[in-house]
């Protein structure tokens, strides 16, 4: 006989399930979704996920409800469109209606919040897609999951294990568990949980699993391939922060020191950036054989910032001596005391997004590189946080490497040994924009070459499982740059994973504000470059070929 407590719990669950059923705006018959499926979605919040990986991936579903006939607001549709391109899984800009789906929200112990959208059973393509969070993470975005289900993937997003906004590192102060979750654990445990939820809901396992993301999200895919080679069949790593310590404490730190005066005021402004960008384009646009507003390969550009320096008595339409020095420092690589390059400088053509990263977008704010460097330094980089009054200008990366090593060991994803991922059948696409002002592509090239060298020493070919594509004119995680920034990396990856067809090229598209394609261009696996045939329409991909020189 049921005792009183169990009877009360049973009544509560019944009411909750009925309430979730009542949420659906259409009747099951009208929508083509069975009442049983709607109940199955609502019941997920009462399932037991506490024993996954013997409790190491313990989770709880806080809310689950079936969503039918949802028309996205203009804001939702706009962000879903942008995120679909960031994820390399583009959807049509005109789409406003989401497919019927089960919306699941919950957390994994201790504090990793997630959102999972499960397409209706009749729609699901039997694949799982995780969008890894960017920057310092800190929020559960609904837009990646909207973008993903438009392509019929069971799609998840999460917050990295903490709450934050922008480059805010205070959540990590003296908290090793949160740092570990942010570094690598969160993407693993949410995948474990998602796969169990999917099996309960669909009564079958996902056939394939993919992870995609940009910046820290690109780092996440590389890290997963190294630490959990069986979690994902395919990885899309865009603009990845491979060596996370160096990104923040070499790249961002050196740039912050270059662009802020000793009162921490920005040296460059938006007018300066526009002038520099125009001068670089005049000098280097034609180095790839065509004038199209895109620099094909910044490594062949020979722009000199001193050409913009003011002559005596002149102050307009030119740069002061200290501004020229700042610009030269931005383009220059970071060196150690022996003169060795430890991080590449900003590439020519990246000026398209200097506003924000190295010059303030808003007068009340400092550039993003300052926040990324100082917040990481103060709260994340060391096992024990620095004194709150520590002067960030006193930091020396070279002198502090031993002290940084403990956190770097679990934070960095730069280990070139990806044999286990390859042996598991995994495939990886690494994508980096040549106009990326946040994370210069040079660091990704260096890492890829180290992977190539390591795998060759072990009689493995990196191109058999991982290919790097460098995208001219494409900025960091965005679609606002001058180059073609729409590409279906997910379809290319799936063809490789499922069909065994390795991508020998990737078609990129430039869209106008209406979503109309105005330019197409191929990119080829590194080290192949794109070459114009000298006669065709420069806006058509058919006018270009792979150059091995």
Q: Nearest-CA neighbor of 85 among 483, 458, 412?
A: 483
Mean of pLDDT over the chain: 93
* CA distance readout (Å), 23 to 16, 197, 352: 11, 21, 46
Q: What percent of the chain has pLDDT over 70?
A: 94
Can you say how many angstroms the Cα of residue 507 is from the centroid of all Cα atoms in its chain? 20
Q: Give the Cα separation of 381 and 243 in Å (integer).
A: 12
Domain ranges of the chain: 1-206, 248-411
* pLDDT band per the 50, 70, 90 thresholds, residue 45: very high
Name the one residue in this structure whose structure tokens are 């990793």: 112
Tell me how far apart the alpha carbons of residues 123 and 241 are, in angstroms, rounded to a whole number.
35
The rounded distance, in Å, linking the Cα atoms of 516 and 532 is 23
So what's the pLDDT on residue 475?
Answer: 97
Residue-wise pLDDT for 145-181, tens only, equals 999 999 999 999 999 999 999 999 999 999 999 999 9
How far is 307 from 314, CA to CA, in rounded Å? 14
**pLDDT, tens digit, for every residue of 277-290?**
999 999 999 999 99
For 295, residues 6+ apart whose C-beta sits below 8 A from its C-beta are: 280, 281, 284, 285, 287, 288, 301, 348, 349, 434, 435, 472, 473
For residue 116, pLDDT beyond 80: yes
Query: Can you give the pLDDT at residue 55?
Result: 95
Count of all residues that appear for the chain in the document: 549
Residue 503 has a pLDDT of 98
pLDDT band of 31, cuts 50, 70, 90: low
pLDDT per position as a tens digit, 56-82: 999 999 999 999 999 999 999 999 999
- Phi first, then psi: what are they for 451, rounded to 5°? -65, -45
Question: Quick one: pLDDT band at residue 364, thresholds 50, 70, 90?
Answer: confident
Reference 198, options 49, 416, 8; nearest CA is 49
User: How many CB atoms are closer than 10 A to CB 278?
Assistant: 12
Those residues with Cβ within 8 angstroms of residue 7's Cβ, 6 or more apart along the chain or in another chain: none
Do residues 20 and 38 touch, judged by C-beta distance below 8 A? yes
């Amino acid at each position: 006989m049921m005792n009183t407590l169990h009877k009360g719990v049973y009544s509560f669950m019944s009411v909750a399930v009925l309430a979730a059923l009542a949420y659906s705006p259409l009747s099951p018959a009208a929508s083509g979704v069975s009442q049983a499926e709607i109940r199955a979605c609502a019941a997920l919040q009462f399932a037991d996920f506490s024993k996954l990986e013997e409790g190491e991936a313990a989770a709880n579903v806080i809310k689950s409800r079936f969503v039918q006939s949802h028309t996205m607001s203009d804001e939702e549709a706009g962000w879903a469109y942008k995120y679909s391109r960031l994820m390399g899984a583009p959807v049509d800009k005109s789409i406003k209606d989401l497919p019927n789906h089960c919306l699941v929200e919950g957390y994994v112990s201790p504090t990793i919040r997630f959102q999972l959208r499960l397409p209706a059973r009749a729609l699901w393509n039997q694949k799982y897609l995780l969008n890894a969070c960017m920057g310092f993470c800190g929020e559960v975005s609904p837009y990646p999951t909207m973008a993903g289900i438009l392509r019929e993937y069971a799609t998840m997003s999460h917050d990295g294990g903490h709450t934050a906004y922008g480059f805010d590192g205070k959540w990590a102060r003296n908290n090793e568990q949160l740092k570990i979750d942010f570094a690598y654990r969160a993407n693993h445990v949410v995948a474990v949980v998602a796969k169990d939820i999917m099996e309960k809901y669909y009564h079958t396992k996902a056939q394939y699993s993919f992870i995609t993301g940009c910046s820290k999200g690109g780092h996440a895919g590389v890290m997963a391939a190294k630490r959990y080679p069986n979690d994902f069949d395919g990885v899309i790593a865009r603009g990845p922060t491979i060596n996370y310590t160096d990104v923040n404490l070499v790249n961002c730190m050196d740039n912050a020191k270059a662009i802020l005066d000793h009162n921490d005021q920005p040296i460059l402004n938006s007018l300066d950036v526009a002038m520099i960008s125009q001068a670089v384009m005049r000098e280097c646009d034609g180095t790839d054989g065509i004038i199209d507003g895109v620099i094909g390969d910044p490594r062949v550009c020979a722009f000199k910032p001193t050409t913009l320096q003011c002559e005596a008595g002149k102050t307009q339409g030119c740069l002061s001596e200290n501004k020229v020095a700042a610009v030269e420092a931005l383009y220059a690589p970071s060196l150690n005391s022996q003169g060795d390059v430890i991080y590449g400088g900003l590439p020519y053509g990246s000026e398209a997004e200097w506003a924000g990263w190295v010059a303030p977008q808003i007068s009340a704010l400092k550039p993003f590189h300052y926040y990324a460097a100082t917040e990481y330094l103060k709260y994340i980089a060391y096992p024990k946080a620095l004194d709150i009054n520590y002067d960030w200008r006193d930091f020396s990366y070279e002198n502090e490497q031993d002290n940084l090593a403990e956190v770097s060991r679990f934070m960095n994803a730069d280990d070139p040994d990806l044999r286990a991922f390859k042996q598991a059948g995994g495939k990886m696409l690494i994508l980096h924009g040549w106009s990326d002002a946040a994370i210069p592509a040079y660091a990704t090239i260096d890492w890829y070459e180290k992977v190539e060298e390591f795998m060759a020493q072990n009689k493995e070919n990196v191109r058999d499982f991982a290919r790097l594509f460098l995208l001219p004119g494409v900025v960091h995680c965005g679609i606002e740059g001058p180059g073609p920034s729409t590409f279906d990396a997910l379809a290319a990856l799936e063809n490789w994973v499922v069909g065994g067809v390795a991508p020998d090229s990737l078609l990129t598209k430039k869209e106008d504000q209406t979503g109309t394609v105005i330019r197409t261009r191929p990119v080829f696996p590194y080290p192949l470059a794109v070459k114009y045939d000298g006669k065709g329409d420069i806006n058509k991909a058919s006018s270009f070929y792979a150059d091995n020189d």
